[in-house]
Structure 1
Amino acid sequence: MAEITAALVKELREKTGAGMMDCKKALAESGGDLDAAVDWLRKKGLSAAAKKAGRVAAEGLVAVAVKGGKGAIVEVNAETDFVARNPQFQALAAGIANVALTTGDDLAKLEAAPFPDTGRTVKDEVTQAIATIGENMTLRRAKTLNVDGGVVVAYVHSALAEGLGKLGVLVGLKSTGKREVLEQFGKQMAMHVAAANPQSTSIKDLDQAAVERERAVLTEQAAGSGKPAEIVAKMVEGRIRKFYQEVVLLEQTFVIDGETPVGKAVEKAAKDAGAPIEITGFVRFQLGEGIDKKADDFAAEVAKMAG
């Protein structure tokens, strides 16, 4: 059994929004397992935000690049938001995204690749930027998307400059249809992914462990209703369908019109394009997601300086 520390209780409270005593009890009941404690709170109806992601705190830029049927997206972090508006840092992020079109997802290969027109590698160019701009920086991640016979479309929400911002998306569409239709629909689909943040393209692509975990939580919640087993089973299946509508791209409601399922929107676009359309994949990078950054207590710092 893991030790139930104050830090563990604090982390569970941040994840779920539940009270301190409830979090302590959940951890005790779960043997100190954080994920199991989250589920315990959800089953008891004590967690209002069990799926809440970690706090987004890192600064920097997400950069996208597209060439032909290939797209690349990278995240380059810095210490302050101010640096994201620095032209040198913007050129660095954009340049790395373009290099990633050739090297692919492997960060080691990307860092070792030549940075255009400098005689330096990508890693050395980041080091150079650290020296000249004066902030620590890191190339955090990269992802590429390829479509053989179709298009890859990029979208950056509230872009600071061309292909640069805090939230970027790539979407791949496979089709022999009209390119202008594919480009337009791909842009709409990328905007949807930015807003709806799906976990998978289709139900069969969804992590089955996540589905079973959700089913277990929903089953215990429904069982508490006191209804007969067959009614409980129907309740669970109904809630699982709703879960799919929340997290699976083709099952979600298309944000462009607010009413059509994405799967139906794909069918309509295929008619306009004159050929079937398949969404081959998507990538969504939001700046700093999953990274915790220490929050400074300014008042405590001043008090300490005052002696």
Structure 2
Amino acid sequence: MLSRLRPRMHMRVRTFAQSVSAELVKQLRQRTGAPINKCKQALEAEKGDLDAAATWLRKSGIATAQKKASRGANEGVVGALATPSLDRVALIELNSETDFVARNEVFQHLSRTVAAAALELPSSGAGALVELHVPELLAAHVDYDGRRQTVEEAIISGVASLGENLMLRRACVVRASDGVVGYYVHNSYVHNFGRTAAAVALEAPGALGTAREAIAELGQKLAMHAVAAAPQYLSRASVPAVKIAEESDVIRAQLATSKKGADVIDKIMAGKLGKFYEEACLLDQTYVLEDVGKVSTLVATRAKELETEIVVTGFARYHLGGTVQDSPPDGR
């Protein structure tokens, strides 16, 4: 009877996740760049073990990267990084989903890391322009987030930290064997990382001291010109025969109804092809920064003033979201 009168007592068991200190969360955030809530979650999952929590975040980042891989990444940065002697310049394009992330310090640090890896990647073959294979660059090792890892792993870590799909789109190195490479980045978010970049290789055998400095300045000006004028080729000699044939066919079609004589039509065709070269070839373009005529004229004038030989041997121009072929494939 008494047992029926006694109120039934139910024991409620409450569980609490192991609490972690704010200092540990801060350390993990500084180490990985991950959001505070993710750092706390990782530390709770690994019972306050900092190293294990960092590994947890990396594994989480791989899963996150796989989920976000199908999302478009059309923003980001184009960046340039040079050796101290200016004999090599790397250009890279690293994409993000939004302009907001492109301006983030974590993303910019990642971009510099990728550019440094591109600059150090061994490259063989002749020519001023070396197009890098993205898979090879992704497999290169870098120091990032306090550990040695591949570029691909660093990007995955960036995905986990920033919450957006990130993609390494392209990279190249412009080099000079006995000269300098001038470069310029336009619309920079941070030093040497922005929306458009160009690098121009100038060979100047034996140039030293002030002459070399002047040639480096010329290279930078030519890179600024390339950013503005968007050349497709270095010179007439570097335009593929197939492209010349295409342009010639277009001109012939335009003149198909002309009643002019064959000699006149040939002259018109030559003039129109000349106009194409002046628009498409760096050395044939009118220099846009000063009223000095063609780029080739400027280079010849500076060489005479400095009493040294200067030869422009190649260039590359990257614009954010531009076609991968917007720099000359042969570097000539």
TM-score (norm 2): 0.68
Shift of residue 272 of structure 1?
A: 2.8
CA distance in 2, matches of 1:133, 1:83: 7
| Cα distance, 1:198–1:121 mapped onto 2, change above 3 Å | same
Unaligned runs of 5+ in 2: 1-72, 124-131, 325-332
Q: What residue is the counterpart of 2:142 in the other structure?
A: 115
Given candidates 92, 101, 122, the residue that maps to 2:110 is 92
State how far apart, in whole Å, the 1-side matches of 2:253 and 2:103 are.
49
1:199 counterpart SS class:
coil
Pick from 165, 176, 180 the counterpart of residue 147 of structure 1. Answer: 176
Alignment-derived partner of residue 65 in structure 1 = 81
Equivalent of 2:203, from 174, 178, 181? Answer: 174
**Equivalent of 2:96, from 60, 66, 78?**
78
Instruction: For residue 141 of structure 2, give the secondary structure of its aligned residue in structure 1.
Output: coil
Counterparts of 1:243-262 in structure 2 under 5 Å? Answer: 243-262=276-295
Corresponding position of 1:6: none
CA-based RMSD of the aligned residues comes to 1.4
- Structure 2 distance, partners of 1:272, 1:169, is 25
Distance 2:190 2:225 in 1: 21
Alignment of 1:176-195 (within 5 A): 176-177=206-207, 178-195=211-228
Partner of 1:35: none
Residue 223 of structure 1: aligned partner: 256
1:22 alignment counterpart: none
> For the residues of structure 2 that align with 1:272 and 1:157, how far apart are their CA atoms?
29
- The AA in structure 2 aligned to 1:66 is A
- CA deviation after TM superposition for structure 1 residue 115, in Å: 1.7
Shift of 1:259: 4.6
Cα deviations by residue, 1:8-62 (Å, 9 ceiling, x for unpaired): xxxxxxxxxxxxxxxxxxxxxxxxxxxxxxxxxxxxxxxxxxxxxxxxx920001
Write the distance in 1 (CA, Å) between the matches of 2:304 and 2:239: 27
- 1:1-307 mapped onto 2 (5 Å cutoff): 58-67=74-83, 68=85, 69-103=87-121, 104=123, 105-117=132-144, 118-175=147-204, 176-177=206-207, 178-290=211-323
Give the Å deviation of 1:273: 2.6
Task: State the TM-score, normalizing by the size of structure 1.
Answer: 0.74
Question: How many residue pairs end up in the alignment?
Answer: 235
Structure 2 distance, partners of 1:152, 1:259, is 22
For 1:218-238, what per-residue CA distance to the aligned partner results, in whole angstroms no more than 9, with x for missing partners?
012123222122211111111
| Sequence identity percentage | 35
The answer (yes or no) to whether the contact 2:198–2:316 under 8 Å persists in 1 is: yes
**For the pair shown, which has the larger CA radius of gyration, 1 or 2?**
2
SS across alignment from 1:129: helix
Residue 223 of structure 1: SS of its match in structure 2? coil
Unaligned runs of 5+ in 1: 1-56, 292-307
Runs of 4+ aligned residues of structure 1 deviating over 3 Å after TM superposition are none
Q: Name the structure 2 match of 1:36.
A: none
Tell whether the 8 Å contact from 1:66 to 1:153 is kept in structure 2 after alignment.
no
8 Å contact 1:270–1:276 — kept in the other structure? yes
Measure the CA separation in 2 of the matches of 1:152 and 1:217: 36
Letter of the structure 2 residue corresponding to residue 224 of structure 1: T
For 1:247 and 1:123, locate their aligned partners in 2 and report how far apart those are by CA, in whole Å.
35
CA distances 1:82-129 after superposition (whole Å, capped 9, x unpaired): 111000001111111111011151222211111224322100000000
